[in-house]
A and B are shown apart, each in its own frame.
Chain A
């Protein structure tokens, strides 16, 4: 374990940026505000690269660096530090967060250039990076939770950034509250863990410190299922899984850079990070692992089907994100934590790219998000077109782009499985991959192919975006293309560096599983599966192109052939929002209002029991007289005098 004070500055630099931007706000010129916003994240990025290089220089088994800033909370046997922990897992996360975060800050300078709340935007964005870094570097669970709720707050602030419109404000509120439902679970999980561990700890040991938890993992066997499932409730909130995914599609109400950074690349992957961080706990409970795998893969295909029919370009990407998160969660569920984190990284690249590309399109189309009035943008926006093509191929899983390797590894590990194999997870994941390729090609065709369907007025203004926007696109395109090469499995002739790098984090309880399926000798199956899913990607893309570019009538025919009912079901997102509204939200509010407030509080308690009592009436009458003689001052005098006399008596008498 090595100590380094650099870690805290990675976290605090963006906080400083947020403080400056927040306090000076409009007094700060836009250029300077944007510069501060980008520079502070840039500092974090540079420092992150530095500490990760330091970490890499350490021997494999010693790759843990800590920076304890100070005591946060200490009471009885409960000790919490404000401290940061860097290991290979958090190293990956901080590089992704600061790297993608920096690019999106730069992009935002262009995208938000004409916005009234420019400084406010950068305040929130910097605050978000601070919270996200606290989340991934926090040395203990409650500190992680500070970041966890902090990113939720920033998400809320940024979704409702244009708060003039109640739709945006509603979406922000929905996000925060849905996340809080998950946080409720995460909080309870901490109590479950503490109840077991607190009596067993030595003097001064922090019960929630990850190092302590890992050390005492064996003691948690009895509560592993409960604690894991409660944590997972938190994951379903933050990482938008069934049943709490409903906030993420609505979150698209926020500015597009926010969608790219928070609602695609970083924050929503926090749940995957949490599971990876707590892997030593999860693997103790096969039940919890199965639930996680099941929910993840169900979310993957469920969201993919909804994405098929959406017409709002950001909504397609939102459901796609939910679906991709499903893959990552399922990966954790089958014990393939490394593959899950690998997909976190590649997804951060290509999904940020796709969102920023969509933002570029929306920017050019005068804030139009409906793909039905887009089309033919290939020629007018070449950089956006080419980079989005890369993003599409990457997410579809076309070799040798990044998404191919990470998704393929998830499917392969699911097929073999750390706990005996989950062929059904593989099968569903495989089908969802086909759907992914299909809806992404649909998006691409509707946006960039054919004739533009917008009004002449809008058409005349379509232009490629400024360099601050296209440069991040290009960088992300490069990363989306080649970012997966650091994790090419040995079976395909790669070095699997990424997996090697993460190995120390997932050493406990996982090595046996690896041995079981013999990852080192039999590569035939791996190659066959890869070939199958590659083929699936091509079929999906091909079908998408065929249906939307070549035979536009085909989609109509298919819709009619299916009777329209299925389309309506998908287009309305299975009516889940309506279901929650009817079953939970509206009844709860009605009960609160009518039963709790009117009947019980006002009627029963206050009306019948309190006012109804005759004693009260009598008292009221006699006390009212007190006011009516206009002698309040007199009473005050009497009162004050009495107390004084009393005091003097004591002083003298004592």
Chain B
């Protein structure tokens, strides 16, 4: 057993890849066998994740289960996996969605099933690896590796404009990654290793930080996607098969916000603090813009895609509130969005399988014939619009509260006021869509007698619904795991703020002169005022 327990993160990461190889080798043409094999592998991976879930000690919030061996360049590059609370909950989300997504493809996919299952498992390896890597080259490898299976999933099993969407997805992400690669190489030469710990100890000038932060943040912002870098998302979602959309919204979009929190912010804290107002403003624009554009879509899937732009805006706002509450709210919102939007895409897939359309005008009055479907859709929608008692509320509440009370983000109150309009707009577009699809008279005869959810669909959706409620009523399930880790990851940024607030000059060595002389560009004076008035 020790072979498993000593390398549990490696098993967790590479088990899906192993499954993919088995499928490609043993059953390249047997759809059913491949499907069940993939499902079994994904469930096994989920079991491993659960073992970690219960084994992880959240109190210190440190990296645990570390596996670290020299890789090449005399150990300057290492195979280094580790897990803290933030990685844990995101890995858990990935591992939970895995079996559900695979199960959902049972009837939806008919073409090249084994290849698809293999692709999905490879993708899962890459995603989990991205969350666990603590060596920057290893991280970069996993990060890029995610791109390829996703590219094929959209490009092979997608809709009519799948090639365009796949290429667009690929190029957007690549474009960002190129900048990140340059930054990675720069830091490597600076630090003499690819190890995250070494990088965290780097002494960088503000100028360096600014460039490096920009490169990293660009790569991550595209992935989020942060407005206005989001236009690949609606195309990718609309063209991707259901399973692709689910994993895209459920996990892949979190890579960007995870990267910001894990790397961009703690590595370059001065730059992060300086850039926070800009990123927060873009996030707020995204919240409002995404919601308004979602409202005028006629394709349900496109509506959900734009709603992601809006929801991820909350995550970014939370991170750049530079408060523990806001950042933890952001992480929580990542999970909540993964559950609710993942479920929404599955639900859209359910109706697409039956009617081969996603246009709202082709529906209407479905609640009559499909009460189970309508109910699950309703609960998911409510979780998505942040109804208190469901998962969406906790994340939004903490993000907004953290931002409002932030002493480091200037004009944070105004940003909260603007961002909070998102809760009104969210209700507007979601209820609009729900009414057009489920309420009103049955406008089209073809929709009469559509089958309600079958057993397989219930099995896929039920766990998601359970967690939407669970996280809403007992958010401690997640918050307890991430609290100490968020504090640790945020520590460098908080330190910048604390030093600045205390008016110490010691840190000024890191900053260019104008930065010290011109307090207008710093967030500090505002926060000092706040402190005084309190």
Contact = CB atoms under 8 A, between A and B. Distances in A.
Contacts of A73: 394, 475-476, 479
B interface secondary structure, majority: helix
B289 interface: yes
A250 interface: no
Interface residues of B, number: 78
A654 B141 CA distance: 18
B292 A596 contact: yes
Interface stretch (B37-45, B50-58, B206-214, B435-443): B435-443
Contact of A640 (B21, B297, B368): B21
A639 interface: yes
Contacts of A563: none
Given A153-B382, A198-B405, A184 B424 contact: yes
Interface in B118-144: 118-119, 122, 125, 141
Interface in A554-576: none
A interface secondary structure, majority: helix
B283 interface: no
Given A153-B382, A184-B424, A636-B119, A589 B295 contact: yes
Contacts of A190: 401
Interface centre among A166, A169, A194 (most CB of B within 10 A): A169
A647 interface: yes
A166 B438 CA distance: 11
B435 A169 contact: yes
A61 B367 CA distance: 52
Contacts of A592: 292-293, 295-296
Contacts of B69: 650, 653-654
B440 A191 contact: no
A169 B440 contact: yes
A142 B388 CA distance: 8
B31 to A, nearest CB: 15
A644 B420 contact: no
Contacts of B325: 75-76, 78
A633 B115 contact: yes
Interface in A595-633: 596-597, 600-601, 605-606, 609-610, 615-616, 619-620, 623-624, 627, 632-633
B490 to A, nearest CB: 11
Contacts of A200: 534
B438 A636 contact: no
Given A153-B387, A164-B440, A623-B167, A643 B125 contact: yes
Interface stretch (A174-182, A334-342, A460-468): A174-182
Contacts of A194: 401, 404-405
Interface in B472-520: 473-476, 479-480, 483
Interface centre among B20, B163, B401, B438 (most CB of A within 10 A): B401
A195 B405 contact: yes
A640 B296 contact: no
Contacts of B296: 589, 592-593, 596-597
Contacts of A148: 388
A71 interface: yes
B163 A173 contact: no
B163 A627 contact: yes
Interface string B378-399: 0000100001110000100110
Contacts of A150: 387-389
B427 to A, nearest CB: 5
Interface stretch (B97-105, B148-156, B458-466): B148-156
Interface in B10-34: 14, 17, 20-21, 24, 28
Interface residues of A, number: 76
Contacts of B427: 176-177, 180
Interface in B163-210: 163-164, 167-168, 170-171
B145 interface: yes
Contact of A173 (B145, B149, B423, B435): B435
A627 B24 contact: no
A196 B420 CA distance: 19
Contact of A647 (B14, B328, B473, B474): B14
Contact of A177 (B21, B431, B439): B431
Interface centre among B171, B371, B382 (most CB of A within 10 A): B171
Given A163-B435, A187-B400, A623-B170, 12 more contacts: A74-B476, A75-B325, A163-B438, A169-B440, A176-B431, A180-B423, A191-B401, A194-B401, A620-B164, A624-B163, A640-B17, A650-B71
Interface of B: 14, 17, 20-21, 24, 28, 69-71, 79, 115, 118-119, 122, 125, 141, 145, 148-149, 152, 155-156, 163-164, 167-168, 170-171, 228, 231-232, 289, 292-293, 295-297, 324-325, 328, 365, 367-368, 371, 382, 387-389, 394, 397-398, 400-401, 404-405, 416-417, 420-421, 423-424, 427-428, 431-432, 435, 438-441, 473-476, 479-480, 483, 534
25 contacts: A72-B474, A75-B325, A145-B388, A160-B435, A163-B438, A164-B440, A181-B424, A184-B420, A187-B397, A192-B404, A196-B534, A198-B405, A589-B296, A591-B292, A600-B289, A627-B155, A632-B115, A633-B28, A635-B152, A636-B24, A636-B115, A637-B24, A640-B17, A643-B17, A650-B79
